[in-house]
Amino acid sequence: MSFISKLLFYVAASSIFLRPFVSYLAFPHEDYFLWLLLAFSATPFVIINKKRIKTNRFDLFFLLFGASIVLSLHTSANKLNSFRHLYLYSGCFIIFYFIRSCNEYQKRIILKTMLFSCFIICLYGIFQYLFGFRYVLELLREQDIIYPFAVEWLNRKRIFATFFSPNA
């Protein structure tokens, strides 16, 4: 594997690792940058590797997914806005074919990368459960902020910080 191919692979793997931590709602510019990073690393990687991708049963599901996106675009009331957000779904196709063009060793690296990302999110949830609620409640008291809904939600001790967006 050439240096450029390795570089593209690791850049794409890094963008996959960062994906859960960048929410479109909270960081729209960073989300777009992350998509560009994935698109301009994974797509050339697939082209450079020239691995023959054999069709399998998952292609049918991706074909249906693509058809539903096209149908959704066609029936949308605000077509321009829907078209502008199309990149959010195209990342799924890019990742799917990026992983299919990887060899077994690279697939294990991608899997470990994704699992490590999940592990960090779990640690964040555990931290919130053990320490986060207390700190936020203390902050609300110190600042004389009275939101009964927020206090009730925090007293329930249900972890929500990791689910601020569908990414996490």
Q: What is the rounded average pLDDT of the residues 9-15?
A: 96
pLDDT at residue 105, rounded to an integer: 95
Contacts of 99 (CB under 8 A, 6+ apart): 107, 110
Give the rounded percent of residues in the chain with a pLDDT score beyond 70. 95
Q: For 75-108, how does the pLDDT look when each residue is reduced to its tens digit (9 = 90+)?
A: 888 888 888 888 888 888 899 889 988 999 999 9
- pLDDT range class, residue 1, cuts 50, 70, 90: low
Least confident of 67-81, 129-143, 153-167: 153-167
Contacts of 22 (CB under 8 A, 6+ apart): 30, 31, 34, 167
**DSSP notation for 99-160:** HHTS-HHHHHHHHHHHHHHHHHHHHHHHHIIIIIHHHHHHHHHHTT---HHHHHHHHTT---
Q: What's the pTM?
A: 0.76
Residue with tokens 């110190």: 142
pLDDT at residue 148, rounded to an integer: 80
Q: For 13-39, how does the pLDDT look when each residue is reduced to its tens digit (9 = 90+)?
A: 999 999 888 877 778 888 889 999 999
What is the chain's mean pLDDT, rounded? 85
Q: What is the rounded average pLDDT of the residues 47-69?
A: 83
Specify the DSSP class assigned to residue 50. -
Residue 122 has pLDDT above 90, yes or no: no
Radius of gyration (Cα) for the chain, nearest Å? 20
Distance separating alpha carbons of residues 27 and 33, to the nearest angstrom: 10
More confident position, 158 or 40:
40
Least confident of 21-30, 55-64, 153-162: 153-162
